[in-house]
Amino acid sequence: MKLIYLVLVFTILTKVSVAQNQVDTTNIDQKIEEDKDVIYKLFPTQNIWTFIKLDTRNGKMWQVHFTVEEDGNEGEVVLNSLSLVDAEKETNGRFTLYPTENIYNFILLDQIDGHVFQVQWSMEEEYRGVSIIF
């Protein structure tokens, strides 16, 4: 009798643990579709206080800082104020950012024509910028 209970408990625990590991994929396609239509996206940096805000239509970017202190440094500074495409070619979701191993650098990809840019953020203005790789 103890063996039957032991097998029953083991079977139930196994089913419960397998059920917890299953991923619900019903909304994944919907999430991908929603991301195509967004104009602005925030990308985290390795600095917990800094994000990069990207206009996905044209490649304009801002460095965003936040703080939890009253007298802390918060706000936005421009990384790139110029559109990287002509106005008639702007499309939601055209640009996206990819982090690199360097804390201060990202790769910006134009997902339509394949152009690639190096994006460097910094607390110091002279070290911020965007340059074309290809």
DSSP string, 47-71: STTEEEEEETTT--EEEEE--SSTT
Q: Alpha-carbon distance 100 to 11, whole Å? A: 45
Q: How many domains does the chain have?
A: 1
Domain, as residue range, for 123: 31-132
Name the band, by pLDDT with cuts 50, 70 and 90, for residue 72.
Answer: confident
79 in a structural domain: yes
Q: Higher pLDDT residue, 118 or 71?
A: 118
Structure tokens at 83: 């559109």
**Residue 8 belongs to a domain:** no
Identify whether 16 is part of a domain.
no
pLDDT exceeds 70 at position 4: no
What pTM was estimated for this model as a whole? 0.71
Indicate whether 96 belongs to any domain: yes
Q: Are 101 and 46 in contact (CB under 8 A)?
A: no
Percent of the chain with pLDDT over 70: 73
Q: Does 127 score more than 80 pLDDT?
A: yes
Q: Is residue 18 part of a domain?
A: no
Q: Bigger pLDDT: 16 or 112?
A: 112
Residue 59, domain member (yes or no): yes
Kindly state whether residue 97 falls inside one of the protein's structural domains: yes
